[in-house]
Amino acid sequence: MKTGVAVLLLAVILTGCRQTPRLDVERIAVVSSDTLSVNGSTRATSYSMSVKIIRAQDKLFVTWLDHVADIQIKCYDLKTDTWSETILLGTGVDNHAGPALTLDSQGYLWAVFGPHHGPFQFRRSARPYCIDEWLELPDFGDTATYPSLVCDAEDQLHLTYRGLSQPWKITYQRRPSGGEWSEPRALVSAAADTGYTHFGNPLAVSAEGVLHLAFHTYDLESRAGQAIGYMRSRDNGDTWENAEGQPLELPASPDSPCIIERGDTLDMRVNSLVLDPQGEPWILSTRIHENPRTTRLWHRENGEWQTIDLLPVVREIMPTVEVLYGSHTFSADGTLWVATTVQPAGTKLWWGGDDLETVLLVSADRGKSWRLLPVSTPAQGVPSWQPSIERPYSHRPVGIPALLYTFGGVGVGVTGGDATRVVFTRFDVQ
């Protein structure tokens, strides 16, 4: 199977009618693949609600989690084609401690990381566009896990995470420039009071300051992610509405009018959220309950939610695989990029299977046609997974994105297992 996957990944998918793109997706290629660490955590690049790659001033700032919970950052200078030394930002609790990164208009980097049910650690770079020295700011947050951090045009920070007392909620806080964090506020709750809940909570912000949140809900009672949804705020997080502009009563639940899809037998995970050049939300979500498992793109078209199923797209070239977790982005010219993982259909594991490989799907026409590129190199019994693609950390669009992924096994629990490799891949037009 591995040899077949490697060959099939070299092919191109062309379906439907193509528009003339400003970026020639047929010429996109991998231009470099660097191992940033051989001591990665078992979830070194996981949790795609968190931005981990920032490009500014001809530099790439890249952050990840080393084994077990060391938060690392490194800088690549595009002018000199050189990497900086690796800088330790801090140490978290376990493999859930992964960082979220953003950048303000003055060039200061901000990082939130560290807990698994605790207060976040909080850092700011001492100098603009420089990672050599960091200021240690006061911890904050209530029973926090899974940060999603963005910076708006006014240099206000916005953050969502899983937090508050059990059953946990999707929690929101904001920090005005030069100010303090607001009090935690619950935005979304799950269906049942089981004591354990899980959420996806990717956040995005537009140039006009509109906040966009996508989410899934999961609770232990039904052992399923029963719902995915979307909400937005036009007033700095004070009030929230659904995609039709209907005000929401908070915290929202799987019965609220912001739900896109729900069902007691469904098991879904929201991976990432980005805005297209028109400011409309696109949501990437994995459907674990289906056989074979698949990943879908939800997006707004003519005032309605539409879906693009990536399984038939990938199966044009790889007919025996299923499609799992990933992350996605739009480049400034409107090209859509989806980094996702594939494995043989019928694999028992949906998390950390030995045959997982990372691939890249690129579309110049909003998902009507696609090109598929290989990213990882198949290695027997070792997954290449947890892809985190470069996406907007603020209202600024990105250019041709870069990509992080983890090469290594799932480990045991939240602290056990062998170290992994952290791989950084760049693309360009050749």
DSSP sequence for 47-76: -TTS--EEEETTEEEEEEEETTTEEEEEEE
Report pLDDT for 18.
40
Which domains, ranges and CATH numbers included, belong to the chain? 2-429 (2.130.10.10)
State the DSSP H helix or E strand holding residue 239, giving kind and residue range, or none if neither.
Answer: none
Q: How far is CA 151 from CA 58, 73, 182, in A?
A: 20, 19, 15
Q: Which amino acid is at 416?
A: G
pLDDT value of position 41 = 98
d(CA 318, CA 93): 39
CA angle at 374 for the pair 62 and 330, rounded to the nearest 5°: 55
- The rounded distance, in Å, linking the Cα atoms of 173 and 170 is 10
DSSP 338-395: EEEEEEETT-S-SSS-TT-EEEEEEESSTTSS-EEEE-SPPBTTB-EEEEEE---SBS
CB contact at 8 A, 318 and 249: no
Write the burial class of residue 180 (CB in 10 Å: 0-12 exposed, 13-18 middle, 19+ buried).
Answer: exposed
pLDDT averaged over 10-residue windows placed end to end, the chain, 430 residues: 37 36 89 98 98 98 98 98 98 97 98 96 98 98 97 98 93 98 96 80 98 92 82 98 98 95 92 96 97 98 95 97 98 97 97 97 97 95 98 96 98 97 97
- On whether the CB atoms of residues 125 and 133 are closer than 8 A, the answer is yes
Quick one: pLDDT at residue 225?
A: 76
Residues 6+ apart with CB under 8 A from 137: 122, 123, 124
Give CA torsion, residues 166, 147, 423, 383, to 10 deg.
20
Q: Check residue 223 and give its pLDDT.
A: 65
Q: Are 150 and 204 a contacting pair, CB within 8 Å?
A: yes
